Amino acid sequence: MANFSPELMRGSLDLMVLSILATGSKYGYLLQQELRDASRGLVDLQAGTLYPLLHRLESDKLIRCKWEASTGRRRKWYELTEAGRKRLSAQAREWHAYAECIRALLAPVADALPRPV
């Protein structure tokens, strides 16, 4: 994960996972892949981080799970709950405002950076 520092990402992992689940229910591995793809490879959530996070979101009732065995393999699917959907849209708004704020704050130094994010 040489892309973003873990400190920077820590506060937003929940939001990222919720946003990926907003497009439909997924199992852990699929979610991980989609997050990687959606972030153009910048966010590669380690499995050891992903699953405890999913379980926490589940315990917070932001997502719920369903065991599916139709494919022959027992697989745990996650989907957003109503509360999760609300949390996602509220936090997404907050993050846009935050990003704007940071962008404005950093504008004066942006030129000094080789590649502003």
Partner 1 sequence: MPEHDFELYLSLLSRFLRLKAVQRDEIADELRDHLEARLEELAARGLSRDEAIKAALDEFGDAAELANHFTHVAHVRKRRIIMRYTFGTAAALAAAILITTAFWPESKQAPVRVMAVVEAQDPGKGAAPATKLPFPGGIGDNSDKAVVEAKLSRRLEEGFELVDVPLRDALESLSEQLGVDIIIDQSIVGGEGINLDVQVSVQIRRTKISGRAALDLVLEPAKLSYTFRDGLIMVTTPQNANQIQVYNVRDLVRQAHDSYGGSGTPMGGAPGMMGPGGPMGHSSMLSRGGSGGMMMAGMVAGGGAHAESSGGMGGMGGGMGGGNAIRETNSLAELIATTIDPASWDGEGGHGSIIQYQELLVVKNSQTVHGKIRALLEMMRETAQRPPGSTAGAPAGMNMPAAGPGAAPGAMPPGAPPRR
Q: Residues interacting with partner 1, by CB under 8 A?
A: 27-29, 46-48, 51-52, 55-56, 59, 67, 73-76
Q: Measured from the CB of residue 22, what is the shortest distance to partner 1 in angstroms?
A: 21
Q: Measured from the CB of residue 12, what is the shortest distance to partner 1 in angstroms?
A: 19
Choice between 25 and 95, CB closer to partner 1: 25
Choice between 60 and 94, CB closer to partner 1: 60
Residue type for 42, please?
A: L
Q: Measured from the CB of residue 115, what is the shortest distance to partner 1 in angstroms?
A: 27
Taking the C-alpha atoms of residue 48 and residue 54, their distance in angstroms, rounded to an integer, is 11
Taking the C-alpha atoms of residue 72 and residue 98, their distance in angstroms, rounded to an integer, is 45
Choice between 41 and 114, CB closer to partner 1: 41
Q: Measured from the CB of residue 3, what is the shortest distance to partner 1 in angstroms?
A: 16
**21: exposed, middle or buried (Cβ count in 10 Å: 0-12, 13-18, 19+):** buried
Residues contacting residue 28 through CB under 8 Å, at least 6 positions apart: 47, 50, 51, 54, 76, 78
**């852990």: which residue's tokens?**
28
Choice between 73 and 115, CB closer to partner 1: 73
